[in-house]
């Protein structure tokens, strides 16, 4: 049995969330129980724990900008798309080795394309375009199209591995992803997901 | 669809919210147009021609040895800046003057090539006019972090080095009378004077300003509160933290002043967005057969974990019609997405069409039809928002005749803190109470319930004034102080409410009992809200009696009752701008109409201004001349990132009097049903996938 480790958001913002809660809660809840907001409000965790099979495949995930890391279990696989969840409800969607969506983190990646990137990874190099979608502060879908190049990294980590970098430039944003490959398989990677979150690193176990 | 609650004006709440929101920002640029002492883009006392980023809000508090004032500013459109100010001034009359003022500034053109930005502005355009000024101003960026500004001012801003009025409008006789009305007759009248200055962005966090002010402060100098040595002012602004700007100024060579600005933008939630737990993927069906009772049980259970209450379920062929009551999500699209995932996992695979009707207090508010196969096919497609929206069908909802309460507990209660503020009383401009409010609700059916709230004051001074209303009208609002004094522990509301539908897009609401702290009676509403239309129409008729100030059950003290009501039209313009017109009879028996202009954001923020003109003359109305103010709605989810339907609503009036007063009815239909229109759902359809 592998113990589940949850990806925790740090408590840095607790004080202000609590303040707002206390101040706004003077309104009472609506729809359901009045006052429910205060009672059920939890400023730090992403939500309800999900039940996952502890024998399911796992990945280790870390998010540098949040200073958090933890383990996620696979909860579904449909074709080459897999969905992964932490015990506290943070979600990652992979298409092959690419992150195409995140959930439960705030500045989430709504959805992204991965085909060009996946083909280039197989070939070890390539140029292609990627589209990423996010919801902005008003919950409107915003997309950015990136021109990307994937190539072998100049510095290589270990003799048994090699690294590939994917450099993407869009009208507003530039980012670089790194994939570490051993025996023809991506074993870990660092991928950019949004301005607010930065990069997410994950490694298959 | 956030459901604002009825609140007393609570500017503290807003200040706290803004502060909290701001401190969480990590990436807001500290540069950009600085705000002057009056809280608008500008130098020190003088304005410039720049605008804040669209939708930006800021609060500036300025203090000097003679004045203290706070300004709330809102970039209402990309070019129009509006501000409300309240301050304590010395030297403008004998003793101390407490004064409210409104400003407007409009950017006529944007800086381009060699041409500067150009703006026109009105400072203190309604109110008592002590700061009344008009100006034209141009601003140009010069490179090396330098921004130069030059302008022409009238009124106060034409008092230093003024020349003859270019239009020949030499007279500027400001007779403000009761105040509160735009003094259009004096705008751009009287002497005209030039002003100007330079802002220098010394480094990323520091801005230094020098200006030549065209305000001679004649009255303050005459009254001996200002030793005026020079028209030149110096200032420095420092971005102490993201969204927090501190300022220090030397005014006219003799007076020191300081300011602090808190700024935030409703478009930038500090939480970065929704942090609710990741939803499960769409599935290919669960139950083997259509056993309605078993399905109802499993679906209700699974929806409940998502904060959704099942109140109706029927299956016909390939289609399942489902009515769900939302208790968690600020966005209808997100709630529908969560519900659809549960249906895809629990319903038999043979059921391929989901007709989901979000209901509000038992009223199906909209009908969204989804094809399960299409959802499964596009759930990982990068164009999911667009494709999903194209595949979704929007239609009028059913009447909701046979809904059930299901697993929803019929009885609920809660205790919440409250803040109740009384603002702008010249003798004590900020008074307030803090306490606990108990809310109780019992639902007989999804549409019929009894609910109430009781307040117990813990601390505060809201009643500590001996001001007596001098209103010549029935004291329908101006005795609010008596209610604060005698009803500090009292029943806020206790009503029976019946919600229903008499047509696919015709909603009804009847409320009976203690409707609000000052009135009891009966209110009946009818709202026509077509799902795909920008226009909604409403009607309301009320018969109310004034409650006793002890806020218990009595209605004898005033022996005042009135039959009132209004017809309302609501129209959604583009980009979230909304117009509302209410016409009818008000609490004091006066007839008239209210115009409300608002800007609503698809994350639940809303800010609006309103004005009411009725058969009550300006003289009978008293100070302020007519009822007006602004309303701000702030959603809890924006601050925390946690899904929530809770929002705080703050109404700020420069003065609360008896003319043009509206009944403070809870749960008005249009408020409840906002957010379920096709337009809002389409704009936010991406959250279906979140």
Beta bridge partners of B456: B436
The residue among B86, B91, B118 whose CA lies nearest residue B102 is B86
Alpha-carbon gap, residue B407 to B311, rounded angstroms: 8
Sequence spans of domains, chain B: 28-175+188-264, 292-406, 411-445+447-679
* pLDDT reported for residue B212: 97
Closest chain B residue to the Cα of A140, Cα to Cα = B684
Gap between the Cα atoms of B199 and B236, Å rounded: 9
Residue in A25, A91, A137 closest to B267 by CB: A137
Pick among B19, B277, B406, B638 to test the A interface (most A CBs inside 10 A):
B277
> Chain A contacts of B601, Cβ < 8 Å?
138
User: CA nearest B465: which of B518, B436, B429?
Assistant: B429
List Cα–Cα distances, A24 to A34, A37, B362, in angstroms.
Answer: 13, 9, 26
Contact A26 B384 (CB under 8 A): no
> Is residue A101 one of the residues assigned to a domain?
yes
Task: Choose among B326, B414, B684: nearest Cβ to A140.
Answer: B684
Q: Do A26 and B385 touch (CB under 8 A)?
A: no
CA distance A91 to A57: 14
pLDDT at position B316 is 93
Closest chain A residue by Cα to residue B605: A138
Tokens, residue B325? 């009551």
Instruction: Compute the count of residue pairs across chains A and B with CB atoms less than 8 Å apart.
Output: 244
CA distance A99 to chain B (A): 11
Q: Distance (Å, rounded) from C-alpha B255 to C-alpha B227? A: 8
Query: In chain A, what residues touch B632 (CB-CB under 8 Å)?
Result: none
Looking at the fold, whether A36 and A75 belong to one and the same domain comes out as no
pLDDT at B430: 81
Query: B247-283 in b/e burial notation, b at 16+ Cβ within 10 A?
Result: bebbbbeebebebebbbbbbbbbbbbbbbbbbbbbbb
The span from the CA of B452 to the CA of A196, in Å, is 42
Q: Is residue A48 part of a domain?
A: no
pLDDT of residue A68: 87
> Do both A31 and A129 map to the same domain?
no
Q: Which residue reads 């003679």 in tokens? A: B66
Which of B266, B268, B231 has its CA nearest to residue B252?
Answer: B231
User: What value of ipTM does the predicted structure carry?
Assistant: 0.88
Enumerate the β-bridge partners of residue B86: B70, B100
Residue A159 lies in a domain: yes
Instruction: Scan for tokens 């001349």, then name that residue.
Output: B625
Structurally, how many domains does chain A consist of?
2
Instruction: Return the sign of the alpha-carbon dihedral for residues B18, B24, B28, B30.
Output: positive
Return all residues near B574 (Cβ < 8 A) that are at least 6 apart. Answer: none
CA-to-CA distance for B667 and B566, rounded, in angstroms? 16
pLDDT the model gives residue B191: 92
Q: Are strands A185-194 and A198-204 parallel, antiparallel or unpaired?
A: antiparallel
Asked if residue A173 and residue A76 are part of one domain, the reply reads yes
Let me know: does B562 contact B473? Beta carbons within 8 Å: no
pLDDT at A157: 67
pLDDT (mean) for A133-154: 94
Report which of residues A30 and A180 the model is more confident about.
A180
**Interchain CB distance below 8 Å, A29 and B646:** yes
Instruction: Give the C-alpha separation, B419 to B430, whole Å.
Output: 12
A-chain residues within 8 Å CB-CB of B415? 35, 38
Measured between CA atoms, how close is A78 to chain B, in angstroms?
Answer: 10
CA dihedral of A31, A34, A38, A41, whole degrees rounded to 10? -30
- Give Cβ neighbours of residue B666 (< 8 Å, ≥ 6 apart): B5, B6, B493, B495, B511, B515, B516
Tokens describing residue B528? 């026509």
Model confidence at A130: pLDDT above 70: yes
For residue B638, give how far its alpha carbon lies from the nearest alpha carbon of chain A (Å): 9
B381 — contact with chain A (CB < 8 Å)?
A: yes
Question: Residue A118 domain-assigned?
Answer: yes
Please report the pLDDT score of residue B450 as a whole number. Answer: 96
CATH number at residue A81: 2.40.360.10
Residue A108 pLDDT exceeds 60: yes
CB contact under 8 A, B648 and A85: no
Is residue A7 scored above 50 in pLDDT? no
Q: Is residue A85 part of a domain?
A: yes
A73 neighbourhood in chain B, CB within 8 Å: none
Rounded to whole angstroms, the Cα distance separating B594 from B566 reads 10
CB contact under 8 A, B636 and A20: yes
| Per-residue pLDDT tens over the stretch B621-680 | 988 889 999 999 999 999 999 999 888 888 988 888 999 999 999 999 999 999 999 999
Say what the pLDDT of residue B32 is: 59
Let me know: does B120 contact B133? Beta carbons within 8 Å.
no
Question: How close, in Å, is residue A157 to chain B by CA atoms?
Answer: 33
Nearest to B380 among A24, A46, A81 (CB): A81
Enumerate residues 6+ apart whose C-beta is below 8 A from A68: A7, A8, A9, A10, A62
Which chain A residue is nearest to residue B11, measuring alpha carbons? A23
Say how many Å lie between the first and final Cα of chain A, rounded: 14
Domains B28-175+188-264 and B411-445+447-679 alike in fold: yes
pLDDT exceeds 70 at position A40: no
Residue of chain A whose Cα is closest to the Cα of B385? A141
Do A18 and A79 lie in one domain? The reply is no
Q: Who contacts B207 (Cβ-Cβ below 8 Å, separation ≥6)? A: B31, B34, B199, B200, B201, B236, B237, B238
- Give the pTM: 0.87
CB contact under 8 A, A111 and B270: no
Nearest CA distance, A160 vs chain B (angstrom)? 33
Q: Which residue of A has its CA nearest to B671?
A: A30
The domain B28-175+188-264 is classified under which CATH number: 3.30.10.20, 2.40.160.40, 2.40.37.10, 3.40.50.970? 2.40.160.40
- A41, A91, A140 ranked by CB distance to B278: nearest: A91
Mutate to test the interface with B, among A10, A137, A195, A197 (most CBs of B within 10 A): A137
> B420 CA to chain A: closest CA distance, Å?
9
Alpha carbons B326 and B313: distance in angstroms, whole number:
15
Going by CATH, does the domain composed of B411-445+447-679 fall within 2.40.160? yes
Residue B282 DSSP code: P
B8 touches chain A (CB under 8 A): no
Of all helices (H) and strands (E), which one includes residue B11? Answer: helix B11-23
- All residues of chain B having their beta carbon less than 8 Å from the beta carbon of residue A139 are 273-274, 331, 602-603, 683-684, 686-687
Residue B259 main-chain phi, psi, to 5 deg: -145, 155
Residue B592 CA to residue B353 CA, distance in Å, equals 49
In sequence order, the 6+-apart residues with CB closer than 8 A to the CB of A131 are A112, A113, A143, A144, A145, A146, B382
pLDDT greater at residue B671 or residue A11 = B671
Residue in A85, A136, A137 closest to B278 by CB = A85
Q: Do A13 and B603 touch (CB under 8 A)?
A: no
Q: With contacts defined as CB-CB under 8 Å, which chain B residues touch A72?
A: none
CA distance B253 to B216: 13
Alpha helices in chain A (DSSP H): 14-24, 36-40, 115-123
Whether the CB of B408 is below 8 Å from some CB of chain A: the reply is: yes
Q: Which residues, given as ranges, of chain B have pLDDT below 70?
A: 1-32, 127-128, 174-177, 407-408
- Indicate yes or no: CB of A46 within 8 angstroms of CB of B277: yes
Owning domain of residue A183: 67-204
User: Which residues of B fall within a CB distance of 8 Å from A26?
Assistant: 7, 10, 13, 416-419, 437, 648
Determine, yes or no, domain membership for A195. Answer: yes
Distance between CA atoms of B502 and B486, rounded to whole angstroms? 42
- Indicate if A114 and A23 belong to the same structural domain: no
Which pLDDT does position B81 carry in this prediction?
A: 96
Of A32, A33, A43, the CB nearest to B640: A43
Q: Which overall architecture, per CATH, does domain B292-406 show?
A: 2-Layer Sandwich (3.30)
Residues of B with CB below 8 A from A83's CB? 278, 280-281
pLDDT at res. B146? 93
């Amino acid at each position: 049995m592998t113990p589940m480790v949850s990806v925790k958001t740090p408590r840095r913002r607790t004080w202000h969330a609590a303040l707002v809660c206390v101040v706004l809660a003077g309104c009472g809840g609506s729809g359901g129980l009045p006052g429910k907001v205060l009672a059920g409000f939890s400023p730090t965790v992403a939500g309800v724990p999900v039940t996952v099979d502890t024998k399911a495949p796992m990945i280790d995930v870390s998010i540098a900008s949040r200073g958090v890391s933890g383990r996620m279990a696979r909860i579904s696989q449909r074709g080459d798309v897999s969905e992964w969840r932490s015990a506290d409800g943070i979600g990652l969607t992979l298409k092959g080795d690419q992150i195409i969506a995140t959930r439960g983190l705030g500045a989430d990646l709504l959805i992204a394309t991965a085909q060009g990137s996946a083909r280039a990874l197989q070939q070890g190099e390539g140029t292609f375009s990627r589209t990423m979608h996010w919801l902005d502060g008003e919950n409107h879908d915003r997309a950015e199209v990136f021109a990307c190049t994937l190539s072998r990294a100049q510095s290589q980590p270990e003799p048994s591995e090699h690294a590939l970098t994917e450099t993407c430039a869009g009208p507003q944003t530039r980012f670089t992803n790194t994939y570490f490959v051993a025996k023809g398989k991506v074993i870990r990677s660092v991928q950019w997901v949004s301005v607010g979150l930065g990069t997410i690193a994950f490694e298959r176990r | 669809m956030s459901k604002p609650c009825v609140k007393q004006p609570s500017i503290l709440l807003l200040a706290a919210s803004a502060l909290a929101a701001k401190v969480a920002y990590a990436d807001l640029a500290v540069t950009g147009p600085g705000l002057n002492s009056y809280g608008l883009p500008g130098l020190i006392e003088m304005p410039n021609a720049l605008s804040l980023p669209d939708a930006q809000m800021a609060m500036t508090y300025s203090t000097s040895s003679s004045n203290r004032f706070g300004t709330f500013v809102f970039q209402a459109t990309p070019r129009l800046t509006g501000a409300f100010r309240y301050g304590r001034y010395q030297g403008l009359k004998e003793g101390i003057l407490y004064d409210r003022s409104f400003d407007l500034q409009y950017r006529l053109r944007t800086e381009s090539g060699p041409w500067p930005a150009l703006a026109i502005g009105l400072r203190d355009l309604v109110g008592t006019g002590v700061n009344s000024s008009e100006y034209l101003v141009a601003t140009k960026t010069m490179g090396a972090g330098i921004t130069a500004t030059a302008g022409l001012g009238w009124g106060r801003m034409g008092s230093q080095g003024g020349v003859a009025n270019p239009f020949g409008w030499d007279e500027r006789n400001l007779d403000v009378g009761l105040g509160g009305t735009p003094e259009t007759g004096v705008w751009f009248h009287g002497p005209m004077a030039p002003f100007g200055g330079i802002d220098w962005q010394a480094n990323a966090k520091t801005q230094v300003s020098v200006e030549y002010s065209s305000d001679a402060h004649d009255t303050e100098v005459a009254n001996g509160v200002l030793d005026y040595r020079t028209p030149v002012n110096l200032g420095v602004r420092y971005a102490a933290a993201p969204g927090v700007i501190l300022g220090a100024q030397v005014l006219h060579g003799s007076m020191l002043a300081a300011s602090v600005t808190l700024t935030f933008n409703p478009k930038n939630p500090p939480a970065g967005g929704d942090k609710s737990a990741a939803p499960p993927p769409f599935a290919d069906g669960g139950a083997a057969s259509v056993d309605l009772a078993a399905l109802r049980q499993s679906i209700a259970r699974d929806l409940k974990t998502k904060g959704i209450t099942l109140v109706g379920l029927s299956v016909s062929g390939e289609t399942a019609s489902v009515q769900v009551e939302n208790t968690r999500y600020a966005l209808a699209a997100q709630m529908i997405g969560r519900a659809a995932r549960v249906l895809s996992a629990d319903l038999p695979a043979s059921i391929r069409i989901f007709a989901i009707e979000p209901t509000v207090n038992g009223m199906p508010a909209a009908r969204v039809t989804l094809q399960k196969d299409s959802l499964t096919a596009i759930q990982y497609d990068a164009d999911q928002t667009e494709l999903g929206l194209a595949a979704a069908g929007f239609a009028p909802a059913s009447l909701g005749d046979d809904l059930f309460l299901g697993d929803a507990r019929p009885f609920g209660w809660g205790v919440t803190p409250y803040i109740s503020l009384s603002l702008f009383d010249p003798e004590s401009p900020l008074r307030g109470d803090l306490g606990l409010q108990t809310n109780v609700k019992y639902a007989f059916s999804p549409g019929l319930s009894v609910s109430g709230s009781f307040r117990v004051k813990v601390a505060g001074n809201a009643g500590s004034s001996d001001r007596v209303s001098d209103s010549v009208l029935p004291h329908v609002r101006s005795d609010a102080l008596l209610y604060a004094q005698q009803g500090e522990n009292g029943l806020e509301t206790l009503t029976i409410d019946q919600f229903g539908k008499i047509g696919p897009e015709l909603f009804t609401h009847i409320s009976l009992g203690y409707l609000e702290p000052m009135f009891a009676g009966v209110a009946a509403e009818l709202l026509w809200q077509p799902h795909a239309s920008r226009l909604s129409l409403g009607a309301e008729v009320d018969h109310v009696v004034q409650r006793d100030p002890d806020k218990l059950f009595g209605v004898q003290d005033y022996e005042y009752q009135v039959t009132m009501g209004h017809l309302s039209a609501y129209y959604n313009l583009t980009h979230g701008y909304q117009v509302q017109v209410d016409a009818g009879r008000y609490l004091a028996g006066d007839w008239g109409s209210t115009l409300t202009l608002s800007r609503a954001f698809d994350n639940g923020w809303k800010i609006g201004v309103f004005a009411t003109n009725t058969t009550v003359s300006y003289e009978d109305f008293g100070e302020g001349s007519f009822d007006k103010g602004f309303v701000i709605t702030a959603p809890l989810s924006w601050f925390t990132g946690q899904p929530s339907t809770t929002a705080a609503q703050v109404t700020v009036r420069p003065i609360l009097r008896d003319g043009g007063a509206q009944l403070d009815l809870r749960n008005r239909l249009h408020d409840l049903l906002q957010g379920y229109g096709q337009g809002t759902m389409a704009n936010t359809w991406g959250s279906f996938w979140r």
